[in-house]
Amino acid sequence: MSTKLDTAQLRQLDQAHYLHPFTNLQTYSQHGGRIISRAEHVYIYDSDDNKLLDGMSGLWCCNLGYSQTSIKDAITAQLQELPFYNSFFQCANQPAVELARALVEVTPAQFNHVFFTNSGSEANDTNLRLVQRYYNLLGKPEKNLIISRRNAYHGSTIASASLGGMSAMHQQTRGLDYIHHISQPYWFGEGADEDPQDFGIRVARELEQKIDELGEARVAAFIAEPVQGAGGVIIPPDSYWPEIRRICQQRDILLIMDEVICGFGRTGNWFGCQTYGLEPDLMTFAKAVTNGYQPLGGVMVGDKVADVLLSHDGEFAHGLTYSGHPAACAAGLATLKLLRKKTSWKPPPASSPRISRSACNRCATTVSWARCAASACSAPWNWCATNTHASVSRQTLRGLCIAATRPMPPA
């Protein structure tokens, strides 16, 4: 930085020129906000040197905290060698190539390809392009409708905001008319006296009802976060995701998991889809992939989709100037190296037996996310996450809470 400005000067310039995201612009121009000047470990400091615990982890980005020197060094070294080149015109760079491989190693087995973007919003835009290209190549251009959930958040571009289900965003712009919404699995706020597992199944089956309403031959994909983040850290009942998985598989609907918040450890596994025993066809990532130190996002493309894209001639007419930016990818490589070093997470299998199968603790009958069939057992459901017949236990809530900041020690 050049001349050091004091708080009053910074706030004056901020109010005069800087339009902030998701902000009442009139109020901010009159009253301003806080200027953040530095950070270390899990703390941020404002321009008056007040020390604050960063409970937001940046914006669900800095899973490893602010003092990871190896990530900063990797960015600096890359800027000295190749600060930028594009990935168009049959070109690549070493950090992008290496990060693509590194991501394949830590994501579920069906993912062997990645498309890089700069954010989760752009990645979800890319999902729409990939889905439509996939079905066009299969000779099913009419299969182009997407189903999402009310109160979901999938980004803030026109396409990603349309995928989201937040009313305030829809009221301020005209969205895409081929995206439809069903209820969110918010038992705590919307389930009233209904049993949480019955609620989870009922809400999940809204997907099936919506497919029937729109026509199975026209519905292409369902998109959701494993745990809704911006919508309120909404943890679905244990019965919800197995039913969604069944519906997508039986109805030939692509499953898109938005892992922008849940990814890279926030549910106790590399990705939230592992925690819930899901096998998505497309998976969105961003935020923590670089520990928030550089803007980077992308889509992990499952073999089912990638095989079709790669087996047909013709250009995929989509791209972004900064896709695979070398400095951002260097940050991603350094971040993944730290995560692999400092955590006990194992590279995931194609499916998650721990979640999808276990024994009923009341009668010891092994079940697979289904009602226990043993005549002597009165328990309606097997809870794989905790192996108890309670509803969502405190242990589950602690394990899945993505609001908590759990940074690793500095390198």
Q: What is the pLDDT of residues 294-305, one digit of tens each?
A: 999 999 999 999
State the distance between the two ends of the chain, measured CA to CA, in whole angstroms.
26
* 360: pLDDT strictly greater than 50: no
206 & 338 share domain:
yes
305 & 221 share domain:
yes
| Confidence (pLDDT) at 2 | 62
Please name the residues in contact with 411: beta carbons below 8 A apart, sequence gap of 6 or more. Answer: 67, 68, 69, 70, 338
Nearest residue to 161 (alpha-carbon basis) of 28, 409, 171: 171
Helical segments of 191-325, H only: 196-214, 240-251, 272-275, 303-310
**Could you count the other beta carbons within 10 Å of the beta carbon of residue 97?**
13
| Confidence (pLDDT) at 1 | 52
**DSSP, residue by residue, 115-129:** EEESSHHHHHHHHHH
Mean per-residue pLDDT over the chain, rounded:
85
Q: Which two tokens stand for residue 369?
A: 């996310």
C-alpha distances out from residue 4 to 17, 37, 255, 392, Å: 18, 11, 50, 51
pLDDT tier at 347, thresholds 50, 70, 90: low
Least confident residue range of 33-47, 293-307, 350-364: 350-364
258 & 321 share domain:
yes
What average pLDDT does the segment 42-58 reach? 95
50 & 75 share domain:
no
pLDDT tens sequence across 142-166 = 999 999 999 999 999 999 999 998 8
285 & 222 share domain:
yes
| Confidence (pLDDT) at 240 | 97
Query: CA-to-CA distance for 251 and 147, rounded, in angstroms?
Result: 13
Helix axes 303-310, 120-137, angle to 10 degrees: 60
Where in the sequence is the domain holding 28, given as residue range(s)?
Answer: 7-60
Block residue for tokens 């615990």:
53
By CB neighbour count within 10 A (0-12 exposed, 13-18 middle, 19+ buried), where does 276 fall?
buried
235 within 8 A of 159, measured Cβ to Cβ = no
187 within 8 A of 174, measured Cβ to Cβ = no
pLDDT tens sequence across 171-209 = 888 899 999 999 999 999 999 889 999 999 999 999 999
Question: Looking at the domain assignment, is residue 410 inside a domain?
Answer: no
Query: CA-to-CA distance for 184 and 214, rounded, in angstroms?
Result: 19
pTM: 0.83
Q: Which of 297, 319, 342 is the last residue of a domain?
A: 342
187 & 253 share domain:
yes
277 & 150 share domain:
yes
